[in-house]
Structure 1
Amino acid sequence: MSINVSFGIHNIFSLASRERCMTNLKKIGIPKFRKLPTATAAVLVPLCNVQEVPSILYTVRSSNLRTNSGEISFPGGKTDLDETPVQTALRETVEEIGLNPKKIEVWGQGPAVPGRNNKILITPVIGSISNLSDEDFSINTKEVAEAFTVPVEVLCDPKNQYYTQYRNGYILPVFIAEQYKIWGITAYITHAFLSSILTSDVYRNDWQKRKVILQN
């Protein structure tokens, strides 16, 4: 006899949730493109325990950067020669926000997804961080304006879920958390992660039923 188990926020750090997440993440399909880019990058998707509140860590890109300045992203960047996605994600996390890799328990990586304008393939690396505090950060202001966390419960709230419809027809989710607008590939990876680790009774995001807040 099969028993339906609800994977919720309260047990999100458990081994069972971890295994569920990585199994499901590898099954998620990505948009099909005629030609995949050859450049590669990796980002860390940091699931954090912030004063006993399960949260996800994001960064705001510095306004000094030439591309995507001021946008919200995960820690990460382009892959160096002979570097694995995990090594890239951890190295970039140290360089951008000073978070010690020893604090990060790497779960694994999901399938690479094409970035904006199909110029780069981005591999999401999932990791958990216990007892994250402000003292864990040393922000590199040349690359990052700030780092912040959003409770998973906020991202699961339908009132904070919207979507973007692009001119090429693709539709991607958008999350609103106070003054922050999480959109683009960062929002897609957030959605993929939440869909993989939580059951639909906890996280459900019906993009088409949400209000459009941005069109490109």
Structure 2
Amino acid sequence: MNYMYLYFTKRISNKFFSTTAILNKHFSPDNIFSPLNKVKFQECSNIDHRWTYNADHLMKIRQAAVLVPLCIVDPADYSLENVQIPLIPSSSILFIRRTKFLFRNSGDISFPGGIFEIDKDQSLKDTALRETLEEVGLNPDRIDLWSELNPFPSRDLKTLITPFVGFVSGGFINESQLKLCETEVEQAIFVPIRDLCNPNNIAHTQYKIAGKMTYSLPIYFVKPPKNNHNKFIDIKSKSLEDSKIRIWGLTAIILHHVLKILLPPSVYGYKIPLIPKIETITNI
């Protein structure tokens, strides 16, 4: 018998389960959705720059709001890849995939949300909750709002989007509890937070203004879990690998900021690289 082999196998095994236990602790719902993290988000609220709503202002720039739904998914409902035994309830974020028939953002992965409607909403918080109810059927009574984050401008600078972070209370959540708006939402996608923090799933994309590279933004490639009814809740992507969803654009920016607040740098330490401007040399 090769005792040296058994010795190293035991050491590797102990190290593996020790690392798994540490990861499970970091990503456990008790840790991620703790009262302390809720306070951290509340401290990040941009109280001084909340917008007032009047006709003159709304004529200049459109207001919109999205909800970042933090939730707990029962591992018994899904066959989670790359999650080691023992399984724990999955700390996840709910995303939606827009239908292909929409004029804007068709087929994109995004958070529930939409445009502020002056005849329906008293505030942007109302917008986020109303749109979430309309798009995925989540009742506002189930959403414990944690924070209103700083608004982000759209790429064309015509819309200002305010993210709200909320925890979906009432225990585990699954697809059967949702009612999707068929004209706007094609899929609801629960993505484990641990997968969003995996460095192998994060890249960056470069944007140009006037033909010059000026800034870079994060982009996430993750393969959502397969549920026990053998329905894949993912989409085909031509980037990196097939059958992975691509989270990019404004949704990725908001996600990056949420993860930075939610987790310590030792768990989510991704930093957006600074890409220097590329000057074209013509006189050679």
The reply to whether TM is greater than 0.5 is: yes
Matching of residue 65 in structure 1 with residue 82 in structure 2: no
Are 2:41 and 2:147, in contact at CA under 8 Å, matched by a contact in 1? no
What residue is the counterpart of 1:146 in the other structure? 187
CA distance in 1, matches of 2:41, 2:66: 17
Residue in 2 that maps onto 1:157:
198
Choose the corresponding residue for 2:176, options 130, 135, 154: 135
> 215, 219, 222: which one pairs with 1:170?
215
Within 5 Å, give how 1:36-75 maps onto structure 2.
Answer: 38-51=61-74, 52-75=89-112
Structure 1 residue aligned with 2:54: none
Q: Tell me the equivalent position of 2:38.
A: 18
In the alignment, what sits opposite 1:103? 142
1:202 aligned residue (223, 248, 267): 267
Alignment-derived partner of residue 113 in structure 1: 152
> What CA RMSD, in Å, does the superposition of the two structures yield over aligned residues?
2.0
State the Cα deviation string for residues 83-114 of structure 1 (Å, max 9, x = none): 31111001001111111211111112101110
Identify which range, 199-208 or 187-196, moves more after superposition. 199-208
Structure 2 gaps, min length 5: 1-24, 48-59, 75-88, 224-243, 275-284
Match of 2:123 among 84, 87, 102: 84
Tell me how far apart the structure 1 counterparts of residues 33 and 138 of structure 2 sit (CA, whole Å): 19
For the 8 Å contact 1:25–1:196, the answer to whether it is kept is no
CA shift for structure 1 position 23: 2.0
- Give the partner amino acid of 1:22: Q
- Output one character per residue of 1:36-81: Cα deviation in whole Å (capped at 9) or x when no partner: x621000000011111210011001110101110011100000111
Counterpart of 1:104, as a letter, is I
Query: What is the match of residue 180 of structure 1?
Result: 245
| 1:147-191 CA distance string (max 9 Å, x none) | 101100000110000111101212110011122000000000000
**What secondary structure does 1:202 align onto?**
coil
Larger relative contact order (C-alpha < 8 A, sep ≥ 6)?
1
The offset of 1:26, in angstroms, is 4.5
Task: Say if 1:62 and 1:69, in contact at 8 Å, map to a contact too.
Answer: yes
Contact 2:205 2:219 in 1 (8 A): yes
Bigger share in strand: 1
Name the CA distance, whole Å, in 2 between partners of 1:79 and 1:194: 26
Give the TM-score of the pair, scaled to structure 1.
0.85
Give the match for residue 124 of structure 1.
Answer: 163
Q: Distance in 2 between matches of 1:97 and 1:13?
A: 22
Q: Is the 8 A contact 1:163 1:172 kept in 2?
A: yes
Q: Is there any run of 5+ residues in structure 1 with no aligned partner, and where?
A: 1-6, 28-36, 210-216
Q: What SS is found at the alignment partner of 1:142? A: coil
**Contact 2:175–2:188, Cα closer than 8 Å, also in 1:** no
SS of structure 2 residue aligned to 1:170: strand
**Number of aligned positions between the proteins:** 195
* Structure 2: distance between partners of 1:146 and 1:203: 27
Identical aligned residues as a percent = 40
Distance 2:36 2:148 in 1: 17
- Report how far residue 9 of structure 1 moved: 2.6
The 3-state SS of whatever aligns with 1:116 is coil
